[in-house]
Structure 1
Amino acid sequence: MEQSWRWFGPDDVVTLAQARQAGARGIVNALHQIPYGVVWSVAEIEARKAIIADDASLGLHWNVVESLPIHETVKIGEGDLEPIFANYRQSLRNLAACGLQVVCYNFMPVLDWTRTQLAYPLPGGGTALRFNIHEYVAFDHFMLQRPGAAEGHSAEVMDRASEWFERSSQADRDRLLANIMAGLPGAYDRYDVPGLKSMLERYRGMSHDGLRANLKRFLEAVIPTAEEVGIRMCIHPDDPPRPLFGLPRICSNEEDIAFILGAVDSPSNGLTLCSGSLGANPGNDVPGIARRFADRIWFAHLRNVAKDEDGSFMEAEHLGGDTDMVALIEVLLAEEQRRKAAGSPHWQIPMRPDHGHELLDDVGKGSFPGYPAVGRLRGLAELRGVMTAVSSLRGYGA
């Protein structure tokens, strides 16, 4: 697998040189400064490519676009969408003209990945991202006051949510809102509570099937162009893989993925295998999902989570959570060998370590939540060790 690193651009406190020190060669990047729905021009794409490749001694190249965002009106199915589709198609053409071939995207309504704690304390002074179900319910039920927010939660969770809210200060509530908003990287609107309520209102009545239909419409509009220009698009699973704030989520399990890949049956309609997102669903067999859809996996996010019975979870060490990372890497390496034997020019799967712990010199540096330098370096080193061991045992690369 091609060892890669997510870099957020010139404003990222983690530098390209540090990515190379960690052992990465591929840089996963996006033009976060461009608002959703606006065309990415060739000039802007080439300018970013030049920054990444500027120091030839590093040997870095932009290998994956993460992400080319989808405008919220597409997810809602609101108004005349053809201009938005046309801009997206043009961005795909421009990326292809600049040599980019893998585009990661997601179809999560309103919010991207969602956590309630960004600095959960670890032994020795490090921190991790964490999703606490009672804090999420406190926000949804008591701060948003969303009708129906209590449905589906146990009395014990509701009691804990009520206790948290009663003892919380305004600073605690502001921090919780900021933490929930933190998963929105790049060109985005951050919401206050009234703004989030207003955004959720636009989705009133949206069902699981309705959101699916809007994704299918998007895929039908853009995948033919992706196929024409040689781009492999790959949807990122929901994070967490469950409905949030009354919004359906439609890329959370094996059945969802089967629907999406079958909606437009094309090699250009693929999957980003995110072991952490899928791993947060107790019903998901992540290596099994990877095995079933292996021929459509164009990108991999490798991370691990440790789940609690109440629905909470924490970002674990890359080899230390609930997902069998060795088994998953075996699946991905076997798929690479199958592609290579078949003569595919796209046999290698770009991977990156995801959501590392904040460790050592990371603490207090202000990196993007989940994307510190040392924590991801550790994760990549651990994953590299597994890849090396599996390849040696299986005779891959011999």
Structure 2
Amino acid sequence: MAWIGGALVLAGATALVTGVLPAADAAATFDRAWPVLLFVVAITVVAQLAAEAGVFEVVAARLGVLARGRVFGLWLLTVLLAVVCTAFLSLDTTAVLLTPVVLALARVAGVAPAPFALTTVWLANTASLLLPVSNLTNLLALDRMNVRGAAGFVSLLGLPAVCATAATVGVLWLLHRRELRGRFRASPVPYVGDQTLFRICSSILLLLIPLLVVMPAPWVPACLAALALTATFALRRPEALQFGLIPWSLLLFAGGLFLVVGAVEASGLLDPIGRLSEHGTASVWAFAGAGAVGANLVNNLPGFLLLEPATTSPITLAALLIGVNAGPLVTPWASLATLLWHQRLVDDGVEFGWRRYVFVGAVAAPAIVAAATLTLSATS
């Protein structure tokens, strides 16, 4: 991703120097991008440090106790944890930090890891429709939706998001209903060495979650939480504060992508896409379908950035979000979260072939996108 990001930055800089991307358009792109990228950095630091303090492991172990030895109950609680983590801490956090925790929980319980692994990555994508902070695409769309913060976003996409999440859970259950039967022996909650650090991190997370919903600029509470956690770790565990906490590759990739898409938009190459908005209600389905196809062809973020200029209303923009958020379940590169998830599986020694992933995703993605789009059409 760093190499691709570097190439994108070079291409964007070339477009700026040659005049393909006017300076005014580049400045407008920067004004739009910096709050989003700052949020990504802050929430990544928060999630990494919270994991370092043992917060996710303790939560997962407590869910195992709450399941009372039932595999189906453990799976339902995993669904709940994946949805909450995705909604408030973003899909990439779920893919990177929750996946190994869920796999460890399945291993200790002695149950098949495949249903829990697929549940994590699918919900990391489809549940990212729930809140603006759940996905980078949502944050990018928020300023064009003409809605007031998270409340306005939820009023428009809340029901489709719930529908997409419910449809995902339903498909997952149909696929793995036999493996989710039976009982297991719950493992004890792991001991956390630095209880003070654990309590401080847990308190900051609990305070951050509602602030991300109610504050109009989510980067503000995310940055405050990141600074508070950094200061806490500087006092109690300074060795955890490493250069790698910052997602440099993602920043380079996203920054270069903003520049390149800005250049493409300024050149007029995207003008024909505007015809998608000329067909009334059908355009909602057109944007949802185009978003899903685009995400699986070139990745959800560039797919969104390329199609977004053609949207003409909050409804068509919401339909595009459904496509690029709930649709990237087929190809491995459809979302960064999927690639990060698979790398975690490899690191953990869990085999999950891409052929199987593509097959089940090709069946599930159209149904999930259609269910959410139908809800959007009916409620709008």
Could you state the TM-score of these two structures normalised by the residue count of structure 1? 0.27
Structure 1 or 2: larger helix share?
Answer: 2
Structure 1 or 2: larger strand share?
Answer: 1
Could you state the TM-score of these two structures normalised by the residue count of structure 2? 0.28
